[in-house]
Amino acid sequence: MATLFLLYFIASVFLFLIAPKEYNNLFCLVLTVLFISQYIQYILYVYKNERKWLDYTIIFLFSSFLVVYVYPLIIYSYDPYLFSSYYIDSKYINKGTALCHMMICSYLLGGAVQRTKKVETKEKRNIYSTRELYVLAVVVSALLLITYIPQIGKLYALVNKDDSTYSLFLIVCLAGLAINNFHRKYDGLKEFISNNKFYGILILVLIAIFLVLGIRYTIIQLLLSLFIIYYLSCSRINWKLLIFAFIAIIVGFSAIRDVRAGNDVARLENASTDIQIAFSFRDLISCSSNIYRGMMYVDRYDYLYGRSFVADIFSPIPYLPTVMTPILTGESPRDNSTQVILTKYAGFYNNVYDSLVGTNCFIDIWMNVGTWLSVLFFFIYGRAVEWVRRLTPYSIYAYLVYVTFVSHAVFAARGVIYPDWRTIIWASLLLYIFERKKSIIVSNNRYLGV
> What value does the mean pLDDT take over residues 347-363?
68
pLDDT value for 440: 43
**What residues form DSSP beta bridges with 64?**
none
pLDDT value for 256: 59
Mean pLDDT of the chain: 82
pLDDT value for 36: 96
- Of the two residues 323 and 446, the one the predictor is more confident about is 323
pLDDT of 251 above 90: no
> What value does the mean pLDDT take over residues 164-189?
85
DSSP secondary structure string for all residues of 392-439: TTT-HHHHHHHHHHHHTHHHHTTS-S-TTHHHHHHHHHHHHHHHHHHH
Which residues, at least 6 apart from 383, have a Cβ–Cβ distance to it below 8 Å?
Answer: 110, 111, 113, 114
pLDDT of 270 above 60: no
Contact by Cβ (8 Å): 40, 48: no
> What value does the mean pLDDT take over residues 318-324?
88
Q: What percent of the chain has pLDDT over 70?
A: 79
pLDDT of 401 above 70: yes
Give the integer Cα–Cα distance in Å for 185 and 42: 27
pLDDT value for 1: 79
Which residues, at least 6 apart from 424, have a Cβ–Cβ distance to it below 8 Å?
Answer: 400, 401, 404
pLDDT value for 258: 57
Cα 363 to chain centroid distance, Å, stands at 15
> What value does the mean pLDDT take over residues 379-386?
95
Domain boundaries, the chain: 2-121+262-419, 131-181+186-234
- Collapsed DSSP state (helix, strand, coil) of residue 234: strand
pLDDT tens sequence across 133-153:
888 889 988 988 888 888 887
pLDDT value for 448: 35
pLDDT of 244 above 70: no
pLDDT value for 312: 87
Quickly state the pLDDT bin for 101 (edges 50, 70, 90): very high
Give the integer Cα–Cα distance in Å for 340 and 199: 35
pLDDT of 42 above 60: yes
DSSP secondary structure string for all residues of 315-374: TTSTTHHHHHHHHHHSS-HHHHSHHHHHHHHHHHHH---SS-----HHHHHHHHH-HHHH
- Tell me which of 169-178, 255-264, 351-360, 399-408 is least confident: 255-264
pLDDT value for 420: 75
Quickly state the pLDDT bin for 374 (edges 50, 70, 90): very high
Q: Which of 9-23, 47-61, 346-360, 418-432 has the highest mean pLDDT?
A: 9-23
Q: Which of 157, 161, 158 is nearest to 144 (CA)?
A: 161
Q: Which of 414, 411, 408 is nearest to 287 (CA)?
A: 414
Quickly state the pLDDT bin for 450 (edges 50, 70, 90): very low
Q: Which of 114, 40, 106, 28 is nearest to 68 (CA)?
A: 28
Give the integer Cα–Cα distance in Å for 112 and 106: 10
pLDDT tens sequence across 280-306:
667 777 788 899 999 999 999 999 999
Backbone angles phi, psi at 186, to 5 degrees: -110, 150
Q: Which of 44-48, 105-109, 186-190, 434-438 has the highest mean pLDDT?
A: 105-109
Q: Which of 11-15, 128-132, 334-338 has the highest mean pLDDT?
A: 11-15
Give the integer Cα–Cα distance in Å for 275 and 76: 11
Q: Which of 279, 440, 307 is nearest to 365 (CA)?
A: 307
